[in-house]
Amino acid sequence: MDLIYCLNKALEHIEGHLQDKLELEDLADLANYSPWHFHRQFTAVIGYPVSDYIRRRRLSVAALELIYTFTPIREIAGKYCFESQEAFTRAFKSFAGITPGQFRKQKGPLVSFSPIELTQYAKHFRKGDIFMTPRFEHKDAFTVVGIARQFTMANNTIPQLWDDFNRRDKEIKHALYDAAIGVCYYAPDYQKDSLFTYMAGWIVTKAEDIPEGMSAHTLPACDYAVFEHKGALDTLQKTYDYIFREWLPASEYEMAKQDDFELYDERFKYGAPESIMEIWIPVRKK
């Protein structure tokens, strides 16, 4: 099923149920995705995590009620699923820069976060500074040994993980040492604010003599779309945005339910404009 169509169904459901409890699992089911894939695709295409998008839409609609109705602030807070008036006040101040009471008293200026109509968004989405055509490769199963840790979207310290790995990488036995691998584990039961696992490691010929504090992880055989990211890593998110916002929705592929990974070989030169690393996305025909 088309990604844009599926996400649009979820967006329409969100818009019609801003006053109701909205669960990631239910939205993912509506879009015919696992929660893990839905959260990742939604964030890439829409530009906001699911919970953040819902919060912004609720606060935008609540702002209208503050101006055009006399409904008590506490009642508005409960109506749009905030746990308390205090929680609503904190969220609203972060959103509008002033408290709900101040906003109501001064009658604006109106703050708004409009609903995204994905078909229109996709039609007018500007093809940005990046355009790339992936190559397609089938890769047999392989094993990586390295340091794996869990993160959340809000607490993502993967650069520190790489620093720790680089200090110990020569401890790994039976490593090919031709390319460092960063593996993002597939998580079929991913939920909002869940932990995800990322490993920094080397491909090995056999998973033996594993150093203390490290582990082995095997990726099954899979077909991949391989993208090259050029330049410093501080623009890496732009490449991921291109992959998920532009290329994947327009392609005849969808993500397979497998790990994706980053590959850093001899072409990677940290911080250099000529640096190249690869992003391997598991794919299958729609």
Domain identity same for 143 and 273? yes
| Boundary (domain end) residue, out of 106, 123, 150 | 106
Domain identity same for 45 and 87? yes
pLDDT of 4 above 90: no
Domain identity same for 97 and 227? no
pLDDT of 18 above 50: yes
For residue 118, being part of any structural domain is answered with no
Q: What is the pLDDT of residues 268-281, one digit of tens each?
A: 988 788 899 999 99
For residue 112, being part of any structural domain is answered with no
Could you identify the residue written with the tokens 């699992």?
A: 25
Mean pLDDT of the region 199-219: 96
For residue 35, being part of any structural domain is answered with yes
Domain identity same for 243 and 158? yes
Domain identity same for 277 and 143? yes
Distance CA 36, CA 141 (A): 22
Q: Token pair for residue 47?
A: 């530009």
Structural domains in the chain (count): 2
Mean pLDDT of the region 216-239: 90
pLDDT of 87 above 70: yes
Q: What is the pLDDT of residues 144-203, one digit of tens each?
A: 999 999 887 666 678 889 989 999 999 999 999 889 999 999 987 655 566 789 999 999
Domain identity same for 278 and 139? yes
Domain identity same for 83 and 203? no
Domain identity same for 72 and 139? no
> Who wins on pLDDT, 207 or 123?
207
Q: Token pair for residue 275?
A: 């640096």
| Boundary (domain end) residue, out of 86, 106, 126 | 106
Percent of the chain with pLDDT over 70: 89
Domain identity same for 220 and 273? yes
For residue 143, being part of any structural domain is answered with yes
For residue 125, being part of any structural domain is answered with no
Distance CA 16, CA 83 (A): 20
Q: What is the pLDDT at residue 107?
A: 54
pTM of the predicted model, to two decimals? 0.60
Angle at 43 between CA 41 and CA 46, to 5 degrees: 95
Comparing 61-70, 116-125, 140-149, 259-268, the range with the smallest average pLDDT is 116-125
Domain identity same for 48 and 100? yes
pLDDT of 138 above 90: yes
For residue 117, being part of any structural domain is answered with no
Domain identity same for 204 and 65? no
Q: What is the pLDDT at residue 52?
A: 92
For residue 24, being part of any structural domain is answered with yes
For residue 251, what is the domain's CATH number? 3.20.80.10
DSSP state of 234: G
3-class SS of residue 3: helix
Distances (CA, A) of 244 to 3, 46, 95, 275: 10, 10, 27, 22
For residue 37, what is the domain's CATH number? 1.10.10.60
Domain identity same for 54 and 156? no
Q: Token pair for residue 69?
A: 């109705």
Range of the domain at 261: 135-285
Residue 40, number of CB atoms within 10 A of its CB: 22
